[in-house]
Each structure stands twice: as structure tokens, then as C-alpha cells.
Amino acid sequence: MLLMNFIQQTISTKIASKGKIMADKDLMTPENVPGRYYTDSTCIDCDLCRQIAPKSFTRQDESGYSYVCQQPQTAGEIAQAEEARISCPTETIGNDGE
């Protein structure tokens, strides 16, 4: 519960101050599959994206971070990936819109 409150507060603060939430493509992790969604090296391994969009995100166990293992295909999967991107407390998830 405390983590969810922290995440919601962080999201609200980021949206209010920046207007958008996005990762840095220059810091992209190498395990990401090609496509519009990706993660960067700022991941803190909170597991939120893997809970929200388990088909699209998985964990790199050795180094302890999430990456995109499968690009979302269906409207439902895309909605989950977007929710994960917006919810990410470290802005680790990017969407190039390609």
C-alpha cells in the first residue's frame, strides 16, 4: 500500500512538472526486443510494469531490472503497456510510437 501511494504521488508530481513521462532512448537496455516500447537503465526493479503488463515486460534476473520481452500486439496489451509506462516511478519505459 505504501509503495502504491508513493508511485501515485510520484506520477502526479511528474505529470504536473513535465507534462509527459518518458525514458531516455540513449540509456536503453540491450535486452529489449525491437519496437516502439523499451526500457532504459534507470529501472529500480519495482516490479510494477511486470504486474501491469506481464506479457510485455520481464525481469533481467542477473542485474535486476525490467525490459520489454514482447511488444504489445492487441489493443488490450497496448493499453497495459501504456499504463505501465505512465505508472513507472522512474520514467524507465519509453514509447517511440513507431
Q: What is the pLDDT of residues 24-56, one digit of tens each?
A: 999 999 999 999 999 999 999 999 999 999 999
* H-type alpha helices, the chain: 2-18, 48-52, 75-87
Please report, for the chain, the start and end positions of each structural domain, with discontinuous segments joined by +: 2-95
The fold for domain 2-95 equals Alpha-Beta Plaits (3.30.70)
Average pLDDT, the chain: 86
Strands 57-60 and 65-68: antiparallel
DSSP per-residue letters across 70-94:
S---SHHHHHHHHHHHHH-TT--EE
* Residue-level pLDDT at 5: 57
* Residue-level pLDDT at 17: 46
* Residue-level pLDDT at 22: 77
